[in-house]
């Protein structure tokens, strides 16, 4: 490769590396694996070493990735939080050991020692203590300037708020989420139809960099401390000595720390960590080799990006070939039907893999998967097994295509895939796989509002097989509830009263309670007002529904699909027999004074919450919107109204005060 070709390739690599570094460090949403990123960086570093005249200061080989997120205060690190030089083979480890040995001999230091530690896959942070008390915590950022995340770090239980010694010390550690907690988080997010975290590192980083510490508190963050950045009044000779001191004063220190005297012992330590990585409770992305002698570290120094006295060995992802024996489908609590690969059991990265998710129909088509294929699998982020690709050359012609089911494999209801979505869903409201979630929604405050019948009680009722259907709620007796608690008579009577009261609800609450996809409270009120009773709504066609304001074709299709299900018809019949109201209740002041009017609420109101004001507007036949346009009738502006008020003024939309709104409602 000549210089011109190298320059072109270096520029291309820098552009790609910058893009993916931003996704990884700043947005916590990586699009490629760590290994792919490492290989790009390795190629860039190799080319720059071959053509040093092409090296620039802004290359990521010369600086630490990461910026300060808007909303956080900047923190200048008194001691830089540097990155590490990555290596991918033992020859580079040997070269590192030779450089260390040479510098040690030149400075009269005999037999330098090393410490090999796990490279924890998380987000680096510095903790600063004054007089023994935690006063500030910050992310690494670009190594020189990070983000002040003190309040977020204080939510981590393993970080001591006060030390037993009144010292001034700054330590560095890695914030992470354990493998078990990460799997649990992603399982919950999948059940709630939320976007899954790509890996534990980004889950930890995103959690620590939340602007609201209340959100951080709900995330299972942990930390391992691995370095003393600065300490006043104490001197240490070795890194190993530092770590022992940190343990003594209460820090959660990196648990894997192997003392080595020779390069052979370094190799063995790296191999041992690699062999044991599957048994570790936390994810790692390598092993770090550090010079133990702190005086030798000072002599060796650092570059602008990395210390010369440490190096990080990166393990390659282990891949194995196995057979895709079958594809089966599972139904989640939200009704999403997920294909699952059944594999010929194979050991990967220390554990036996016999199945893995195939995500959705598109994933199967993209990978061109067929039942009977030989496939390459690996563990993503050392935690989640995944199919990488098919070994097409090994196909025999006996492999079988797979098609997603047209009906739910659990209840037999129609399975549909809506336009613009990757997921296929069960539409049955009585599907056992969805029952718990459907019940919780049905009784919720915004739906049938059955006070006292919360998630725990529903869980107990299902466990005891006292209910197997939504309508079963209305068959429960006083004795059934009383049996759930000692001296549960009052509890039981309150629940019976609440259930009976729910029978008198307006129709819109019942429509909301059904949990029809895309139909919330607002749309339910519109449907109740337009059709008047459940039978007319059940009989409505897509064309009928599409004529209703605010009901588009996607929502209309969803409604028709729901009411066409035999399960839905059965449920409505049982609810009617139980005495549940299925018609719209006309209010005494059935007043449509705001009919055809659209309100936008902005700023802080004194007498009403946003929800209360919206309910009043809807009660009088109006509707609310979140954005201002030429079609907006009124902008109700409270204190500290912002851009919506400005836009309303520019469009000439009528702006009203809270007092004027009250006058309109009299």
CA distances from 184 to 175, 197, 200, 219, 524 (A): 18, 11, 11, 11, 34
Q: Please, are residues 172 and 226 in contact by the beta-carbon 8 Å criterion?
A: yes
pLDDT at 67: 55
For 501-539, the DSSP string reads HHTT--HHHHHHHTT-TT--HHHHHHHHHHH-BHHHHHH
Q: Which CATH number fits the domain 598-665, given the four candidates 3.40.640.10, 3.40.50.880, 3.40.50.2300, 3.40.50.10190? A: 3.40.50.10190
Classify strands 424-426 and 336-348 as parallel, antiparallel or unpaired: antiparallel
For 536-591, what is each residue's pLDDT tens digit?
A: 999 999 999 998 877 888 899 999 999 999 999 999 999 999 999 999 987 645 67
Calculate the average pLDDT of the chain: 89
Among left, alpha and beta (phi > 0; psi -120 to 50; other), residue 104 is: alpha
pTM value is: 0.56
In this model, does residue 207 exceed pLDDT 70? yes
pLDDT for the residue numbered 77:
93
328-337 pLDDT, tens per residue? 998 887 788 9
Task: In whole angstroms, give the CA distance from residue 414 to residue 409.
Answer: 10
Q: How far apart are CA 45 and CA 657, in angstroms?
A: 62
Class of domain 319-394: mainly beta
Q: Residue 360: pLDDT above 60? A: yes
| Residues annotated catalytic, as ranges | 119
End-to-end CA separation in angstroms for the chain = 82
Tokens representing 29 are 């949403």
Cβ–Cβ < 8 Å for 436, 458: yes
Q: How confident is the model at residue 488 (pLDDT cuts 50, 70, 90)?
A: confident
Task: Please compute the mean of the pLDDT values over residues 470-475 and round it to a whole number.
Answer: 95
Determine the average pLDDT of the residues in 174-179.
94
How many helices and strands, by DSSP H and E, does the chain display? 24, 22
Is residue 664 helix, strand or coil?
Answer: helix
Which CATH class, in words, describes the domain spanning 427-577?
Answer: mainly alpha
Looking at per-residue confidence, does 450 or 14 come out higher? 450
Helices (H), 116-178: 150-153
What was the pLDDT predicted at 335?
Answer: 86
Q: Of the segments 348-352, 367-371, 591-595, which one has the largest average pLDDT value? A: 367-371
Burial of 83 (0-12, 13-18, 19+ CB in 10 A): buried
Task: For 183-226, give the DSSP string.
Answer: HHHHHHHHHTTPPPPS-HHHHHHHHHT-SSHHHHHTS--EEEEE
> Can you give the pLDDT at residue 592?
79
Q: What is the pLDDT of residues 46-78, one digit of tens each?
A: 888 888 888 887 777 775 555 555 668 899 999
- Mean pLDDT of the region 187-216: 82
Give the pLDDT mean for 107-127: 94
In angstroms, the CA 317 to CA 314 distance is 9
Cα angle 526, 414, 530; round to 5: 15
Query: Which residue, among 597, 615, 612, 611, has the nearest Cα to 656 in the 3D structure?
Result: 597
Alpha carbon distance 605, 603 (integer Å): 7
Q: Please give the CATH architecture assigned to the domain spanning 74-313.
A: 2-Layer Sandwich (3.30)
Q: Does domain 3-54 have CATH number 1.20.1730.10?
A: no
Residue 15 CA to residue 621 CA, distance in Å, equals: 54
Q: How far apart are CA 315 and CA 173, in angstroms?
A: 21
d(CA 242, CA 227): 8
> Could you state, in order of their start, the residue ranges of all structural domains in the chain?
3-54, 74-313, 319-394, 427-577, 598-665
Reported as a single tens digit per residue, the pLDDT across 292-330 is: 999 999 999 998 889 999 999 998 777 889 999 999 998
Is residue 430 pLDDT above 90, yes or no? no
Q: What is the pLDDT of residue 65?
A: 55
Strands 169-176 and 623-625, by their bridges, are: unpaired
Evaluate the CA torsion angle 95, 98, 100, 103 in order and state its sign: negative
What's the pLDDT at 310?
96
- Angle of helix 179-191 versus helix 200-208 axis, rounded to 10: 80
């Amino acid at each position: 490769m000549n210089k011109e070709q190298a320059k072109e390739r270096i520029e291309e690599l820098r552009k790609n590396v910058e893009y993916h570094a931003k996704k990884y460090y700043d947005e916590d949403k990586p699009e490629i694996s760590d290994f792919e990123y490492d290989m790009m960086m390795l190629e860039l570093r190799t080319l720059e070493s071959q053509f040093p005249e092409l090296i620039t200061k802004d290359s990521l080989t010369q600086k630490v990735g990461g910026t300060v997120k808007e909303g956080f205060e900047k923190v200048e690190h008194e001691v830089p939080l540097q990155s590490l030089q990555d290596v991918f083979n033992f020859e580079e480890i040997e070269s590192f050991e030779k450089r260390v040995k040479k510098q040690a001999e030149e400075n009269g230091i005999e037999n330098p020692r090393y410490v090999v530690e796990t490279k924890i896959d998380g987000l680096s942070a510095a903790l600063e203590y004054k007089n023994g008390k935690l006063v500030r915590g910050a992310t690494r950022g670009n190594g020189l300037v990070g983000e002040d995340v003190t309040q977020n770090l204080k939510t981590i239980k393993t970080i001591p708020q006060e030390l037993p010694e009144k010292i001034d010390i700054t330590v560095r550690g890695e914030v992470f989420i354990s493998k078990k907690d990460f799997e649990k988080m992603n399982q919950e997010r999948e059940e709630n139809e939320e976007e899954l975290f790509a890996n534990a590192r980004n889950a930890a980083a995103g959690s620590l960099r939340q602007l609201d510490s209340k959100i951080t508190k709900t995330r299972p963050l942990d930390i391992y401390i691995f370095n003393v950045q600065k300490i006043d009044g104490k001197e240490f000779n070795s890194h190993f000595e530092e770590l022992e001191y940190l343990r003594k004063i209460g820090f959660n220190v990196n648990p894997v720390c192997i003392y080595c005297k020779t390069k052979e012992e370094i190799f063995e330590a790296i191999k041992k960590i690699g062999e044991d990585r599957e048994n570790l409770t936390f994810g790692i992305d390598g092993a770090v080799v550090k010079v133990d002698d702190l005086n030798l570290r000072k002599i060796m120094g650092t570059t602008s990006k990395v210390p010369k006295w440490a190096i990080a060995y990166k393990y390659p992802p282990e891949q194995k070939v196995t057979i895709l024996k079958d594809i089966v489908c599972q139904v989640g609590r939200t009704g999403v039907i997920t294909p699952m690969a059944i594999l010929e059991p194979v050991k990967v990265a220390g554990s036996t893999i016999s199945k893995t998710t195939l995500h959705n129909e598109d994933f199967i088509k993209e990978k061109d998967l067929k039942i009977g294929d030989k496939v390459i699998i690996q563990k993503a982020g050392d935690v989640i097994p995944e199919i990488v690709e098919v070994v097409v050359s090994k196909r025999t012609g006996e492999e079988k295509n797979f098609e997603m089911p047209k009906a739910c494999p659990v209840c037999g209801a129609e399975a549909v895939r809506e336009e613009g979505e990757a997921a296929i869903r069960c539409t049955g409201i009585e599907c056992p796989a969805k029952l718990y979630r459907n019940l919780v929604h049905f009784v919720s405050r915004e739906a049938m509002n059955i006070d006292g019948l919360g998630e725990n009680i529903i869980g107990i009722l299902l466990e005891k097989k006292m209910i197997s259907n939504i309508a079963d709620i209305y068959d429960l007796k006083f004795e059934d509830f009383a049996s759930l608690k000692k001296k549960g008579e009052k509890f039981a009577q309150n629940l019976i009263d609440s259930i009976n009261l729910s029978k008198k609800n307006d129709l819109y609450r019942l429509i909301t309670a059904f949990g029809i996809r895309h139909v919330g409270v607002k749309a339910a009120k519109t449907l109740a007002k337009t059709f008047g009773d459940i039978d007319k709504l059940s009989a409505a066609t897509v064309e009928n529904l599409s004529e209703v304001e605010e009901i588009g074709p996607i929502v209309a299709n969803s409604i028709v699909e729901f009411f066409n299900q035999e399960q839905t018809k059965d449920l409505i019949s049982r609810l009617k027999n139980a005495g549940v109201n299925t018609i719209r209740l006309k209010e005494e002041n059935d007043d449509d004074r705001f009919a055809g009017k659209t309100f936008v609420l902005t700023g802080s109101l004194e007498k009403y919450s946003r929800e209360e004001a919206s309910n009043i507007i809807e009660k009088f036949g109006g509707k609310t919107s979140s954005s201002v346009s030429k079609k907006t009738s009124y902008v109700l502006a409270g204190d500290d109204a912002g851009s919506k008020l400005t836009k309303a003024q520019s469009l000439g939309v009528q702006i009203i005060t809270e007092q004027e709104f009250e006058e309109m409602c009299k």
